[in-house]
Amino acid sequence: MDVALRVRDVGLEDPGLVARRIATGRMVLVASPAFVQQAADDAIDDPSSLAKLGTIGLLHEGREQSWNLQAGDGRSLKVPHRPRLLCSDYTVALDAAAGGVGIALLPLRIVWRGLENGTLQHVAKDWGSAEQALHLVYVSRRGMLPAVRALVDHLIQQVPMALAF
């Protein structure tokens, strides 16, 4: 592999790799309006109660999962949950949340249209993930093929603009 986009900070300290931060973002909790309407008002706004309502999780995290949430005022909370649906794709999780399957923790960049058009509702609004960095990872520019160098330069310029909303 010549180039990778990574959200995780793990593995970025490899001395043979260059990791360049090119964007940031956070994840928010969302569900369909019908799902929110069926839930008790106090439970849908309390992040510690969300696991009882039904969640959507990512397959690679296994059957028993935890959301590490952070409030705007700096409080943090670990919410263990057992998802009713496991999937390996954010698009599937987004569609499942919009379809009323449960609550999903998804990148704001992915859910903002659904929040805007009303197919999704933001739940536990004070809570979400900590800010996460998107890194472009590649081997040293030294000896890099011109095509790879052009791709790196293009991604450095275009990804932040493409992810802005």
Least confident of 48-57, 66-75, 114-123, 135-144: 135-144
Asked if residues 1 and 14 have their Cβ atoms less than 8 Å apart, the reply is no
Name the pLDDT band for 46 (thresholds 50, 70, 90).
Answer: confident
CA contacts within 13 A on the Cβ side of 22: 23
Q: Which domains does the chain have, with CATH numbers?
A: 3-24+132-163 (no CATH), 27-128 (3.40.190.290)
Q: Identify the CA nearest to 39 among candidates 94, 102, 86.
A: 102
Run of H or E including 16: none
Helix axes 108-117, 90-98, angle to 10 degrees: 20
Run of H or E including 30: strand 27-31
Does the pLDDT of residue 75 top 70, yes or no?
A: yes
Asked if residues 4 and 121 have their Cβ atoms less than 8 Å apart, the reply is no
- Supply the pLDDT for residue 123: 94
Residue 104 token pair: 């999903």
Q: Which of 16-20, 113-117, 125-129 has the highest mean pLDDT?
A: 113-117
Does the pLDDT of residue 11 top 80, yes or no?
A: no
Q: Determine phi and psi for 136, rounding to 5 degrees.
A: -95, 120
